[in-house]
Amino acid sequence: MNATLRYLLPRLAWTLLLLALLSLLAHWSDRLARKGNDKTVLRAVLFINGTLGDKSFFDSAAKGMRRAGRELPVSVRVVEGGNDPTRWESALADLADSGDYDIVLAGTFTMVPYVQRLAGEFPRMRFVMFDAAVDYAHCACGNVHSILFRQNEGAYLAGYLAAMLLQERLLPGLPANAGLGQVGGMQLPVIDDYLLGFGAGARAADPSIRVAIQYANGFSDPAAGKDIANAQMAAGAGLIFQAAGATGQGVTEAASEAHRYTIGVDLDQYEMYRHSNPQRAAAIVTSVLKNVDVAIVQALSLALRQQLPYGRADSLGLAEGGIGLAPHSEVLDRLPLPLRQRLDAVRADLVSGRVHPPSGFARAGTEARG
């Protein structure tokens, strides 16, 4: 006992002394921070449960934040939570608790339970949940605005385009009778929404077309994406649609190396690779845009005007501009006029609601459609 105390007490004393010293330092550094001028009306922070650089979902969200910071009187910050889920909740709670921000944005279904809990615990904070909705019936979420995307509409259009291109043999270098492939990040409702929409669109254009589907079980594993894409191409896929975050970069790489084609997701990936990697860009037919950036800028500007409908989920699709197809690529720019008109007709059908693509949410039985 005595030995334990002799071991413990000096160390405890040293720790306390150190903490006291650091506390003094902390006060000094806080005072240093407060000198900054403040013209902003709203302080927004985007929490990313992963890292930037996926060239799709998270990068798009960060782009929206940057644009909001430039165009609106909003101070913005993007916080990367990293890939360790055990630290996400505490990091998000810290953002809500720190008092440095007025509004916290977070995306994906993973974050829903955390936002639900924090919304109740910090009723004066504001939250924006994108690409997922909190369960308003079962939480005190009067301070949360949710944004959902009807990505199946955009994917339907992309599937239609892909099948049409194969049918008309407009993609040079493909074997005869090539089929389609799809790579999903994980089997989640959001991803299924893409894949089901794409398959339905493809079959609408060509009922006999073959569509292979595989999930990579991860959004940050380009090597797995490349493997799956190579396997699908070996089985005859000429064009692969990927909805797999950073994993999808492997799909794009595999397709461009095999001189086949791919359709990207979330951000305009052709535009991203056009200058940096023209060979890879040539393989990208288009991208199903999920305009997370547009939605975020819109939400923040509404929040500035105190008009953001908290306590409610909004759903954005083709009609609202939340979803779309990237307009340019080497393939699309060569698209003959009659085909372009066919595509526009399908788009009009989707916007007017004459065509209802199948949804991945219906299958999962969640009431996420707000």
Partner 1 sequence: MKQATALPLQQRLQRQQALAQRLRLPVALAAGLGCGFLIMCAVSSEPLRAFLILLTGALPRLHWSAGEGWQLTRLVRFGAVIEDAITLTLLGLAVAIPFRARQFSLGADGQLFLGALAATVVSLYLPGPWFVVLSLSMLAACASGFLWGALPGLLKTRFQANEIVTTLMLNIVAVQAYRWLVSGWLRDPAGGFIVTPFLPASLQLPVLLVHTNVTVMLLALPLLVWTSWLLLMRTTLGYEIRVVGQSAAFALQAGLPVQRTVWLSMGAGGVLAALAGMHISHGLLKRLPVDLPAGLGYEGLLVALLARCEPRAVPWAALMYAYLRTGALAMERSTDVSREVVLVIQALVILFLVAERMQPALAGGWLRWRARRAEGGRHDA
The DSSP code for 54 is -
The DSSP code for 52 is S
Task: Check binding of 27 to partner 1 (CB under 8 A).
Answer: yes
Nearest to 214 by CA among 246, 250, 187, 254: 187
Task: Check binding of 107 to partner 1 (CB under 8 A).
Answer: no
Task: Check binding of 362 to partner 1 (CB under 8 A).
Answer: no
Q: How far is the CB of 347 from partner 1 (least distance, A)?
A: 29
The DSSP code for 202 is H
- Closest CB to partner 1 among residues 191, 295: 191
- Site size for partner 1 (CB under 8 A): 54
Task: Check binding of 86 to partner 1 (CB under 8 A).
Answer: yes
Residue 169: left (phi > 0), alpha (psi -120 to 50), or beta? left
Residue with token string 């010293």? 21
Residue from 9, 10, 23, 341 in contact with partner 1 (CB under 8 A): 23
Stretch near partner 1 under the rule CB under 8 A, chosen from 54-62, 163-171, 187-195, 283-291 = 187-195
**DSSP strand pairing (284-290 vs 144-149):** unpaired
Q: How far is the CB of 193 from partner 1 (least distance, A)?
A: 12
Supply the DSSP string of 316-337, one letter for each residue.
E-TTTTSEEE----HHHHT--H
Stretch near partner 1 under the rule CB under 8 A, chosen from 54-62, 107-115, 230-238, 275-283 = 107-115
- Closest CB to partner 1 among residues 167, 366: 366
Helix axes 88-97, 112-121, angle to 10 degrees: 30
- Closest CB to partner 1 among residues 90, 177: 90
Which structure tokens are listed for 136? 């308003």
Q: How far apart are CA 195 and CA 95, in angstroms?
A: 34
Which structure tokens are listed for 252? 């794009």
Task: Check binding of 121 to partner 1 (CB under 8 A).
Answer: yes
Task: Check binding of 370 to partner 1 (CB under 8 A).
Answer: no
Binding site for partner 1 (CB under 8 A): 4, 7, 11, 15, 19, 22-23, 25-30, 32-33, 45, 51, 77, 79-80, 82-87, 89-91, 93-95, 97-100, 108-110, 112-113, 121, 132, 186-190, 217-218, 364-366, 368
